[in-house]
Amino acid sequence: MDPKLGRMAASLLALLLLLEGGMFSSHSLPPALLEKVFQYIDLHQDEFVQTLKEWVAIESDSVQPVPRFRQELFRMMAVATDTLQRLGARVTSVDMGSQQLPDGQSLPIPPVILAELGNDPTKGTVCFYGHLDVQPADQGDGWLTDPYVLTEVDGKLYGRGATDNKGPVLAWINAVSAFRALEQDLPVNIKFIIEGMEEAGSVALEELVEKEKNRFFSGVDYIVISDNLWISQRKPAITYGTRGNSYFTVEVKCRDQDFHSGTFGGILHEPMADLVALLGSLVDSSGHILVPGIYDEVAPLTEEEINTYKAIHLDLEEYRNSSRVEKFLFDTKEEILMHLWRYPSLSIHGIEGAFDEPGAKTVIPGQVIGKFSIRLVPHMNVSVVEKQVTRHLEDVFSKRNSSNKMVVSMTLGLHPWIANVNDTQYLAAKRAIRTVFGTEPDMIRDGSTIPIAKMFQEIVHKSVVLIPLGAVDDGEHSQNEKINRWNYIEGTKLFAAFFLEMAQLH
């Protein structure tokens, strides 16, 4: 063969292997550099855990609207700003104004951090989103340790925010710090957008992203979020989709005051009876939603999609035991995953105005409000779902011939998000996982809602990937939240390898 043709054939084969995302060998990355970075991370893991301990100690609760927690949130953002500046980042702390609460109180919103490291036009630019606020936590609520004192037990780091989301944010920062400490050039330009109000609905963030679309985000090529969990305890995952959420209230009212059941029981259309009938009409005992037309726009199931569920590692017995559930609605891995990710679900959350305290109180509530939500999937539309639910409840209520008044409201409407798994950063993430963990990742969706992913995709128009670090049993939002030391440290290596893979593939 002509040598020139041979070289062309070899180049073409290399390109095809790259595009195909064939089995990755660490030799594709600079092995000496990779080894140095990983060794640095291993040697400094106690320092990384200590920093996480310091961050967990800040009670950055955004859910409870009280001045003390807001002060803690501002302190948390200041600590993060200082950490990034010491790395050499150019940091802007964006004033987000104040939040008006229903009781007339006004509280300041913590600033959003916009930070930049590197602006080499020949490199790709990866933007990392994270949040440093947490859910409420109190040791009296069932925590085995003080939730704001990071406590290590058997390799598990317990503390509020350890996995959601302080641990993953620090893992990204730690990965950057490894390159800096080794005096190595960062393989990619890196930007950060870090907020302090995610758990309270990311107040005012969408407006900021819209405003910065052609400024801060103009040079961004890819967006990475690490704010969810694996589906197993040991096998890493990449998330490419989440469900949306439509949250409803249905109010049934007779009058403002409650009634005595001995005086009025038997002669009224009781609001609670109406409400229970309405809530009972929404979903059957097999989890099937009874609202007419609700499944019409659900994306059809393909053979290729079924195969992705078959490939996912999920030990049903372990999953059931860790969930402390006697029996699920479905018996196979594939059915469970599909009903968590690609089919809608309806959940009834509670009733406001009903007697719910210990003891016996013979009261007839004069007014009650039921609360429920529907998790949406591609290609369901929020406004269409709102109309379908309202029409259904009105039909059910009219058949009861009740003299009470009923009002249906949708208080939250968030669309589902799904990404193209063939985008460059998905290939880079897969390769980085193979390097660090020696396995193919589970390609998963998330049954919950992560509005920021859809928001970035729609406003910034860049590829978004979710690279979770935490194990399925981390207990985000729950008592005894934790992140495993192994996940935290190997996750730091994963992000470092991801930077190098992005540099190769960009």
Residue 17: which pLDDT band, with cuts at 50, 70 and 90?
Answer: very low
Q: Distance between CA atoms of 58 and 74, rounded to whole angstroms?
A: 10
SS3 344: coil
**What's the predicted TM-score (pTM) here?**
0.86
Rounded to the nearest 10°, the torsion over CA 24, 29, 32, 35 is -60
Q: Say if residue 27 carries a ligand binding annotation.
A: no
Please give the span between the terminal C-alpha atoms of the chain, in angstroms, as a whole number: 32
DSSP codes joined into one string, 103-171: TS-EEEPPPEEEEEE---TTS-EEEEEEE--B----GGGT-SS-TTS-EEETTEEESTTIIIIIHHHHH
Catalytic annotation on 198? yes
Burial of 424 (0-12, 13-18, 19+ CB in 10 A): middle
Domain with CATH 3.30.70.360 in the chain: 243-297+342-412
93 sits in which H/E element: strand 90-94
Residue 28: which pLDDT band, with cuts at 50, 70 and 90?
Answer: low
Checking if the pLDDT of 14 tops 90, the result is no
Catalytic residue among 133, 270, 473, 501: 133
**Distance from the Cα of residue 155 to its chain's centroid:** 24
Token pair belonging to 238: 């990449």
Q: Distance between CA atoms of 41 and 27, rounded to whole angstroms?
A: 20
The residue whose two tokens read 């369901």 is 380
The residue whose two tokens read 């300041």 is 108
CB-based contact 144:238 (threshold 8 Å): no
DSSP codes joined into one string, 202-269: -TTHHHHHHHHTTTTTTT--EEEE--SB-SSSSS-EEEEEE-EEEEEEEEEES-SS-EEHHHHTTSS-
CA angle, 171 as apex, 489 and 234 as ends, to 5°?
45
SS3 180: helix
Of 391, 354, 367, give the one whose Cα is nearest residue 248: 391
pLDDT at position 313 is: 86
Q: Distance between CA atoms of 419 and 425, rounded to whole angstroms?
A: 11
Of 1-10, 388-397, 424-433, which gets the smallest average pLDDT?
1-10
Q: Distance between CA atoms of 297 and 387, rounded to whole angstroms?
A: 14
Exposure string over 297-324, b if 16+ CB within 10 A, otherwise e: eeeeeeeeeeebbeebebeeeebeeeee
CB-based contact 166:58 (threshold 8 Å): no
The residue whose two tokens read 């953002």 is 77
Checking if the pLDDT of 297 tops 80, the result is yes
DSSP codes joined into one string, 398-455: HHTT-SSEEEEEEEEEE--EE--TTSHHHHHHHHHHHHHHSSPPEEEEESS--HHHHH
Catalytic residue among 198, 270, 442, 476: 198
pLDDT at position 88 is: 97
Residue 324: which pLDDT band, with cuts at 50, 70 and 90?
Answer: confident
pLDDT tens by residue, 342-370: 999 999 999 999 999 999 999 999 999 99
Residue type for 103, please? Answer: D
Domain with CATH 3.40.630.10 in the chain: 29-240+415-502
Q: Say if residue 395 carries a ligand binding annotation.
A: no
Q: Distance between CA atoms of 167 and 470, rounded to whole angstroms?
A: 9
CA angle, 277 as apex, 271 and 282 as ends, to 5°?
130
Catalytic annotation on 133? yes
Q: Say if residue 199 carries a ligand binding annotation.
A: yes
Q: Say if residue 164 carries a ligand binding annotation.
A: yes
Q: Distance between CA atoms of 258 and 238, rounded to whole angstroms?
A: 51
Checking if the pLDDT of 465 tops 70, the result is yes
Checking if the pLDDT of 410 tops 60, the result is yes
The residue whose two tokens read 């700003």 is 81
CATH number belonging to the domain at 243-297+342-412, selected among 3.30.70.360, 3.40.250.10, 1.10.15.40, 3.30.70.270: 3.30.70.360
Furthest-apart CA pair in the chain: how many Å?
Answer: 102
Q: Distance between CA atoms of 472 and 381, rounded to whole angstroms?
A: 29
Checking if the pLDDT of 26 tops 60, the result is no
Residue 13: which pLDDT band, with cuts at 50, 70 and 90?
Answer: very low
CB-based contact 240:372 (threshold 8 Å): no
Q: Distance between CA atoms of 328 and 318, rounded to whole angstroms?
A: 13
Phi, psi angles (nearest 5°) of residue 294: -65, -25
Token pair belonging to 344: 């809608």
Q: Distance between CA atoms of 112 and 95, rounded to whole angstroms?
A: 7
Burial of 393 (0-12, 13-18, 19+ CB in 10 A): buried
Of 122, 166, 131, give the one whose Cα is nearest residue 147: 166
Q: What is the mean pLDDT of residues 84-99?
A: 97
Token pair belonging to 182: 């080794």
In the CATH scheme, what is the homologous superfamily, with its name and number, of domain 29-240+415-502? Zn peptidases (3.40.630.10)
**Distance from the Cα of residue 12 to its chain's centroid:** 40
Q: What percent of the chain has pLDDT over 70?
A: 94
Q: What is the mean pLDDT of residues 139-148?
A: 96
Q: Say if residue 131 carries a ligand binding annotation.
A: yes
Checking if the pLDDT of 11 tops 70, the result is no
pLDDT at position 102 is: 80
Polymer length in residues for the chain? 506
Average pLDDT value over all residues in the chain: 93
Of 89, 64, 69, give the one whose Cα is nearest residue 173: 89
